[in-house]
Amino acid sequence: MNQSYSNFLTMVQAVLASMKKDQEAWSNEQEIITEIAAIETDFKAAKAIDDALSGMDAKAYTNASNQEYEIIVSLTLKLCKKLCVSARRNNDPALLLLANHSQSSITAGKRKEIISRCTAIINKADSMLEALQVYKVTEKEITAIRQHIESFDVHTDERSNIKTDKTTLTQLNLPDLIQSIRQRFVILDDMIEGFLDDEDVIARYKQSRVVVNYGKMKTAKNKSSETGSTVSSK
């Protein structure tokens, strides 16, 4: 979730709430009514997207994927030790080359390569399972590694899908709505100061337009005339 968008929407919500409390001051100003209604429509759409994005948390899938990865490596290394015994006892250099791994060698490269390496090892073990039973290689342990690999793939795909969905949702919808609201505020800012005479209402409106931690959107227009400090309201 883009924190700056969330901060901006929090400001919009505060403005709408403030204007609702002071509605009597602008209830006869049709231009202000129209602008606020348009901002509220865009806000509701943007807030729905922002809420959806906040619910798309890939962390759980990342944690699950990491856990499965660790189990796969651990179980495959144990299997490799058994395969090495068979390879040395039976003078099988091809099997020894495939299975003679340490923690560092079996985890060399990217995770996709590592999982492929582990898959090749269990496939080889499966193909000669009967001969390997004497070395305590079992169908159960091979099946277990396969299941963890399948689970790893599922969690990895889910994590990728969430990231893709979040990117698409953000890029195609939210920025346009934020920009629309920002442009409407440029107009509304002038309306509030130009059309209204109640200085208290104007002051409350200006205060509600402050965006906390929204530094990237700061402009010279927002500098306080009294303190010279910069606050963001766009």
Q: How far apart are CA 193 and CA 204, in angstroms?
A: 12
Q: Where are the domains of the chain?
A: 3-57+174-222, 60-170
- The SS3 assignment for 37 reads helix
Q: List per-block mean pLDDT (blocks of 10 residues) for the chain, which spans 234 residues.
A: 76 92 93 94 83 57 74 94 96 95 92 91 95 94 92 67 50 77 94 94 93 44 38 45
pLDDT given at position 24 = 93
| pLDDT score of 54 | 63
216 vs 234: CA distance, rounded Å? 10
Q: Is 209 in contact with 39 (CB distance < 8 Å)? A: no
Residue 6 has a pLDDT of 81
pLDDT tens for residues 100-141?
A: 999 999 999 888 899 999 999 999 999 999 999 999 999 999
